[in-house]
Structure 1
């Protein structure tokens, strides 16, 4: 019988935290203990957490990153499993129940479920919703079948505590600790598992300002991990290295794909609107089948899923800009010692505007 301690790092999360803690209280298999790390919040985060009857830990000063906040709580964990949950993430009632069985395999070091957007009110949330539905019903199942998931999402991952402690805790050397640990464990010969039936709802950025911050962090963190793990991945986990290479190729070729309708218009003499319509038609034809499957799999209204497709083009455009920026800075300037790369942890939410400095690998 597995036992679970939940760690919830929280900085200025008084608005989102109640829903997170209520979702933990509703679990069909309840956790043995819940630890909320009130990381120098200037709002009522600590009071809100205490009102829900959980253990509240208060570091003497701001720790500087999500990983450091989680590591502050880790010595208080005595269970065999640790569930890390973001303070704005809501877990389905059976999340823990569905995750636990995979840890019957002693080779499993980390596991996580499927992430969906918690709200779909703005352009950025609706675009991200489309990205999640496509990624978790196309890329992630393929990676899972190959036993090489790219990442176990940090907002809802379960860790085997002994392996986590032996590793030194949540990695603080990159800006995205979830990908760093997922790759490190697979390189070491342990398994990372995607559990498709376990669902978590994450609160995504609701405006461009915070969407940019989140994407900047994600893309920089991906490239930091490429820089850190490229050699060991190729030697010890070649299938995962394949997914990483494909992701890099997608980034590099993205501008060509976006330029296709304009190149086609010049090459064929077709009007730009006609060329753009053909390009969009091809892209949508490749996207709709996966989204239709996702809608059926998750019992979502198909019309609601399809109507969000145009918003994904907006979010993808931002992704491309920051992906190229990350390639240039993290994989070129940093190795040349012309930049330190991204070293400030900024959460992509308006309720956490304070930058947090975190050391990264060089």
Structure 2
């Protein structure tokens, strides 16, 4: 008993530190973050030192197994470097909302005629009208003096229908004779036909909230600020959420970065532009010669080039826009492969983190694309180690006994998981997060390798969006990779359990390998679910809870889209379907809709009484009413964010997705 307590003592100490101290600390204070991250770092250093001195250096021989052990230790060192940078970043945090309040109070006290001029750039390539319409109407609806605001639609496909739409709505349609340098070239052309003192950029699928300029512009009273970036939020679910059946319980993948990491980077003055939902000082752009064209991620390179000239990027962590997440796996990977390639490209350009003049050593390190370079190699190594051991007998380390591994590795895992639970309480679940990473590995790792070999070998690719994006397919390639690894791990495990077939001698590492293999199989099976693409609704309904009237009946709208409203009808109210009724909603002039269906939802267990009724109203708005509905839905009043992570709901969703209708009927 005493022996077990001694072995588990480091883990108990780590857990006690978090449970007694950290859980009661505010995660928004720098000192609490610094102390906590330092403890996790120390635990990781202890583990790596033990790995080197007890499990790597003593390894006998010089065969393939010897090089395998050293290779895996090298992978762990890369992971340690990546985690160290993460811990440094997350050891600080800043919330600039109070600063925005104070700055805005002074900034907008000036006379209207003294406010700066603002140009809104909407670069577009092949997006359809149902995507562009929201963005253009939203930009035109910004709360800012009309004579100080111009909206430019930068059309790289030179479409006549888009020109006519812009003329009708009051936006400026801009084209150019070629598509040189893709998005960066398009925006540089926009600079030549505009003259606003500040330039707000919104991708074609992002809608600005009405108060975007009132919250961001005041930061530019500091002449050292070149860019103000805001987070990206989405009104639809990404393919990972949908394919796992976690649309209502698991946040979109980008929440960890935009809600947590970006604010921490800003506290270190190493925030960077993410392109859309940002605003830039024209003078700073002119100082660097416009938007950089050397990389397909011109946004990141803009920040780096401005840092060379002394301009910082500020981050305001407020929901000031809403956009369209990748709608299927094709778009999901097109987007992430572009980010990955662009990040790696910065290593090879004159204004990147390695060669850019004027950057401090700290800035150079923190802008290295370490995560892109490291994470997929690390994930692949974690996934293949048990299979390699079962089939070849090559262990990942010179093994002493289970007690040593438990004493040194378990505290690291516990420390990291508890840190993530504390610092990102609604953004991280180990198994699901690992499964999403495993799913991405087999498509992203080739991109990492090809980008290192030929960083400029692949041109800019636009993420497919909107009604024209109907390519929902089974991801056979990724599924095949996952299935092969599941089979290799499971079959290797079975073979070595049977003494007559065993390829590895019984030893103390075997229980560890079995546990490792079982965890990997679970992770890989969850990852495999993502390959089965479910249909992503073209028009995602927005959650609502507000008064609504139709046909003289007062109810409450619970769901809204541009073409449909679901209204809760008071109990006992009789309604007739198939009728055209007048609908009244706040912020929209009265319009006509057809009441097509009435559904019921039972309250409690009785089905005869107490059932809530919902009227499904369908409409096709045009003109001013449609514009008003776009402003209402997409410019500030509604959020699709998942604020609370319910672990039981996530588990139930995964179980339901795995076993489908049979589970749901049960």
Q: Under TM normalisation by the shorter chain, which class is it?
A: 0.7 to 0.9
- SS, match of residue 15 in structure 1: helix
**2:290 pairs with 1:169:** yes
Contact 1:155–1:202, Cα closer than 8 Å, also in 2: no
User: Is structure 2 residue 149 aligned with structure 1 residue 24?
Assistant: no
| 2:119 and 2:200 in contact (8 A); partners too | yes
1:263–1:329 distance in 2 versus 1, CA, 3 Å: closer
Task: Give the alignment's TM-score, normalised by structure 1.
Answer: 0.76
User: What is the SS of the residue equivalent to 1:119?
Assistant: coil
Q: 1:190 aligns with which of 307, 311, 321?
A: 311
Q: What's the CA shift string for 1:146-196, capped at 9, x where partnerless?
A: 0011x3110122111112123221111211110111111113322111111
Residues of 1 paired with 2:130 and 2:435: CA distance? 27
Aligned to 2:326: 205
**Alpha-carbon distance, 1:198 to partner:** 5.0
Which residue of structure 1 aligns with residue 226 of structure 2? 109
Residues 115, 202 of structure 1: 8 Å contact kept:
yes
**Cα offsets for 1:75-104 (capped at 9, x unmatched):** 122121111111110122221111111111
Residue in 2 aligned with 1:255?
380
Alignment pair present for 1:89 and 2:206? yes
Give the one of 454, 458, 465 matched to 1:342.
458
Q: Secondary structure at the match of 2:457?
A: coil
User: Aligned runs of 1:1-362 on 2, under 5 Å?
Assistant: 1-13=115-127, 14-29=129-144, 32-41=149-158, 44-63=161-180, 65-120=182-237, 122-123=239-240, 129-149=251-271, 151-228=272-349, 229-232=352-355, 236-245=359-368, 246-247=370-371, 248-258=373-383, 287-292=420-425, 315-317=436-438, 319-331=440-452, 333-334=453-454, 340-349=456-465
The alpha carbon displacement at 1:260 in A equals 7.5
Q: Whole-Å Cα distance in 2 between the matches of residues 212 and 53 of structure 1?
A: 35
Report the count of equivalent residues: 327
Deviates more, 1:249-258 or 1:140-149: 249-258
Moved more, 29-38 or 342-351: 342-351
For 2:385 and 2:231, locate their aligned partners in 1 and report how far apart those are by CA, in whole Å.
32
Aligned-residue offset at 1:231: 2.2
* Distance of aligned partners of 1:142 and 1:202 in 2 relative to their CA distance in 1, 3 Å threshold: same
Distance (whole Å) between structure 2 residues aligned to residue 291 and residue 233 of structure 1? 33
Q: Whole-Å Cα distance in 1 between the matches of residues 157 and 281 of structure 2? A: 28
- State the secondary structure of the residue aligned to 1:135: helix
Q: Summarize the Cα distance change of 1:264–1:101 in structure 2 as closer, same or farther, 3 Å threshold.
A: farther
Give the secondary structure class of the aligned counterpart of 1:239: helix
Say whether the 8 Å CA contact 1:12–1:41 is kept in structure 2: no
Confirm or deny: 8 A CA contact 1:171 1:177 kept in the other structure.
Answer: yes
Q: What is the distance in 1 between the residues matched to 2:250 and 2:358?
A: 34
Shift of 1:49: 2.7
**Preserved contact between residue 124 and residue 206 of structure 1 (Cα < 8 Å):** no
Query: What are structure 2's unaligned runs of at least 5 residues?
Result: 1-114, 403-411, 470-666
Q: Aligned with 1:330: secondary structure?
A: helix
- The CA deviation at 1:27 is 2.1
Residues 107, 191 of structure 1: 8 Å contact kept: yes
Which stretch shows the higher mean deviation, 170-179 or 120-129? 120-129
2:131, 2:466 within 8 Å by CA — same for their partners in 1? Answer: no
Partner of 2:578: none
SS in 1 for 2:307: helix
TM-score with structure 2 setting the length:
0.44
Structure 1, 252-261 or 205-214: larger mean CA deviation:
252-261
Could you list the runs of 5+ residues in structure 1 that have no partner in the other structure?
270-278, 294-304, 354-362
- Could you tell me how far apart the structure 2 residues matched to 1:211 and 1:105 are? 37
Query: What do you get for the CA RMSD once the two structures are aligned?
Result: 3.6
Give 1 or 2 for the bigger CA radius of gyration: 2
- Counterpart CA distance in 1 for 2:133 and 2:430 is 31
CA displacement at 1:352 relative to structure 2: 7.7
Deviation at 1:11, TM superposition (A): 1.9
